[in-house]
Amino acid sequence: MGYSYETYELANKILESVRAKNVRENEKKKRLFYMRFNRAREIETLLSQTAVSVAKSVLNGNDTKEQLKKLKNFNLSLQNELNEILTNANLPLNYLEVSYDCNKCKDTGYVDGKMCECFKKLLRSETYKRLNNLSPLSLSTFDSFNLEYYSSEETGTGVSNRRKMERILNHCINYADKFNLDSENLFMNGATGLGKTHLSLAIANTAINKGFGVIYASTPAIVSKLEKERFRRTEDNEDSEIHLINCDLLILDDLGTEFQTTFSNSTIYNIINSRILYNKPTIISTNIPPKKIQTSYSERLVSRLWGHYKLLNFCGQDVRTKLGAQKAKKSMSAEC
């Protein structure tokens, strides 16, 4: 999977910082321990000195077999004494060892020359952050979604917009609570300002807190980024399309507002189709009516959307317009 040089550098710096923090905390812990148990400090000093003695003996060409045997027995007795001190202090035997975030690689990022899983996870996490920066929006919550902005009057179907949106809200809450790698795809459709972005970000918030890798991006922004990468390809470039395909949850906002070209259409199709093939959950939101979707995109893309996504039809009046009117009214009242 392609990562840029900058991403590797950033991940390395993060790991170095984590390792340094853990070493500092260990040194502080050891200092406090040695203040209480001076004999433990003496034992640690003796253990380090025996290692130096062995090295000197080897360098001098001496017969080290007998000496090594004596040092081994001596070290063992010292270690047993140290373990006894720790046990009497009700502390684990590994108390004086560094507590690393990752015990496999000891926060170095590599095990036997191979990249550790913790480093791979960190690279993915930093890449997702960089891609999510394409959106200026902060993560929303379900608690801040207010149904009061939707009309309670019955429509021609006999169900009010508020009731319809309550069902959608509950569906999204349930989706987020039970989110896993086998979750269904969602297609949020409706006019501007009805809460599609709010609810998709609330789902993202919950999924991220569960530890899943989530990428949220507006379709125009991500298409623009992929186009620049495609035509400015170098060895150090990130392959964002691969991350979009492989992340645990992809949220594509504002489908249909991108400048439609052969490149954009084929790229969007490849991402959506690949995630369906790999059984990766995707949430798509759009202001474009279903009929226009059918005329704007290829038949094969439309068939993927209608055949593999659950449709959520958002309804009501623009919530943002109502919020703006309320703020303006409060402002006028305050001035009076």
15 occurs within a structural domain: yes
Same domain, 223 and 182: yes
Tokens of 110: 């590599």
Same domain, 159 and 304: yes
pLDDT at residue 169 is higher than 60: yes
257 occurs within a structural domain: yes
Name the 3-class secondary structure at 123. helix
Taking the CA atoms of the chain, what radius of gyration do you get in angstroms? 30
Q: What is the pLDDT of residue 13?
A: 93
- What is the rounded (10 degree) CA torsion for 132, 135, 140, 145? -140
Tokens of 207: 């999924």
- Of 44, 73, 108, which residue is a domain's last? 108
- Which secondary-structure segment (H or E) carries 185? strand 185-189
Same domain, 212 and 287: yes
CA distance 91 to 93: 6
User: Higher pLDDT residue, 243 or 189?
Assistant: 189
pLDDT at residue 313 is higher than 90: yes
39 occurs within a structural domain: yes
Same domain, 182 and 267: yes
332: pLDDT confidence band, cut at 50, 70 and 90? Answer: very low
Same domain, 96 and 196: no
123 occurs within a structural domain: no
Same domain, 159 and 270: yes
Angle at 227 between CA 223 and CA 229, to 5 degrees: 120
User: Higher pLDDT residue, 69 or 206?
Assistant: 206
11 occurs within a structural domain: yes
Q: Which of 26-30, 31-35, 121-125, 277-281 has the lowest mean pLDDT?
A: 121-125
Q: Are 221 and 184 in contact (CB under 8 A)?
A: no
Q: What is the pLDDT of residue 240?
A: 83
113 occurs within a structural domain: no
- Condensed to tens digits (0 to 9), the pLDDT of residues 184-240 reads 999 999 998 899 999 998 998 888 888 888 888 889 999 998 998 887 765 445 678
128 occurs within a structural domain: no
Q: What is the pLDDT of residue 208?
A: 84
Q: What is the pLDDT of residue 1?
A: 45
307: pLDDT confidence band, cut at 50, 70 and 90? Answer: very high
User: Higher pLDDT residue, 93 or 334?
Assistant: 93
Q: What is the pLDDT of residue 30?
A: 92
Query: Which of 326, 327, 313 lies closest to 195, judged by CA?
Result: 313
Taking the model in full, what pTM does it have? 0.68
135: pLDDT confidence band, cut at 50, 70 and 90? Answer: low
pLDDT at residue 161 is higher than 60: yes
Domain that holds residue 71: 5-108
Q: Looking at residues 21-34, what average pLDDT do you find?
A: 94
> DSSP for 246-309?
HSSEEEEESTT-S---HHHHHHHHHHHHHHHHTT--EEEEESS-HHHHHHHS-HHHHHHHHHHE
CATH number for the domain spanning 211: value is 3.40.50.300
Alpha helices in the chain (DSSP H): 5-36, 38-59, 65-88, 117-132, 161-177, 196-209, 219-231, 240-246, 262-277, 290-296, 299-308, 319-335
56: pLDDT confidence band, cut at 50, 70 and 90? Answer: low
CA distance 147 to 165: 7
Cα 318 to Cα 52, 136, 167, 192, 284, distances in angstroms: 76, 20, 18, 6, 19
Sequence letter at residue 193: G
Same domain, 49 and 196: no
Same domain, 154 and 276: yes
Same domain, 172 and 44: no
Same domain, 29 and 68: yes
331: pLDDT confidence band, cut at 50, 70 and 90? Answer: very low
Q: Looking at residues 318-331, what average pLDDT do you find?
A: 56
Tokens of 257: 């507002």
User: Higher pLDDT residue, 332 or 7?
Assistant: 7
Same domain, 139 and 282: yes
Number of domains in the chain: 2
21 occurs within a structural domain: yes
Same domain, 99 and 206: no
